[in-house]
Amino acid sequence: MRRPPVGWFTGSLVRATSLTDSARSLTFSVPGWPGNLAGQHVDLRLTASDGYQATRSYSIASVGPDTDVELAVERLPDGEVSPFLVDDLEVGDSVELRGPLGGWFVWRPEHPEPVQLIAGGSGVVPLLAMTRAHTDARSTVPMQLLYSLRTPEDALYRDELQQRSSTTPTTWHYTRTVPPGWTRAAGRLTPDDLRSATLPPERGPLTFVCGPTGFVETVARGLIDLGHQPDSIRTERFGGI
């Protein structure tokens, strides 16, 4: 992919899809977009009629050279930007985008190591991009996902993740409410959960962890306690309102 130009792109919303009651997939057509790697993010800027501007960072769900850029935004109760994007932005509306950004928290098909993805809530978005890149490249490198979320209703891209189960199996984990017939009680991830649901350290996986700060720190410490090398664990915390 060519080096992105400095400055902002204008993106026009071409598709909006509800993911949950509080989250939405937004696809923008962005002329001049240079493409992006799986795991990169973008700055999104809104400008009000009075000139006030607000900028937030969002992970990119899409991947590759296409000039369409897909984001997934979850509404935050006290948010300044996310409620507008989830509830009010309409097809044809424009925003400004700067990116792609980030070069560490990315997966490339040429990476030879097995891949363990661990997501907390909407932290699944850049990891979804990695599963898409894995599929697009027809990679035979083992890849699997551990997805922790509050309730079954909070899952982003559930249908797509289930469709990829043959190439990227997903282990679902619930912290507040579980589906009917679920064998494990709701609760936070434990060391035993990490041991049973992730690739063992002796296989030398490259592990990507994304989610709220507390979740990411707890999981990273747990992986190190299990014997994973710190430099094999790549972390990203999401946030913004």
- Cβ(35)–Cβ(1) below 8 Å: yes
The residue among 111, 110, 133 whose CA lies nearest residue 39 is 133
Does the domain spanning 115-237 belong to CATH 3.80.30.20? Answer: no
Q: What is the pLDDT of residue 211?
A: 95
Task: Name residues whose C-beta falls within 8 Å of residue 72's C-beta, 6 or more positions apart in sequence.
Answer: 19, 23, 24, 25, 26, 58, 59, 61, 122, 125, 128, 156, 157
E strand or H helix that includes residue 163 = helix 158-163
Contact 212, 237 (CB under 8 A): yes
Answering whether pTM is above 0.75, one says yes
> For domain 9-101, which CATH number applies: 2.60.40.10, 2.40.30.10, 2.60.120.200, 2.40.110.10?
2.40.30.10
The tens digit of pLDDT for each residue in 37-93 reads 999 999 999 998 888 999 999 999 999 999 999 999 999 888 889 999 999 999 999
> What are the sequence ranges of the domains in the chain?
9-101, 115-237
Q: Which residues have C-beta within 8 Å of that of residue 225, sequence separation ≥ 6?
A: 191
Q: What residues of the chain score a pLDDT lower than 70?
A: 1-6, 239-241
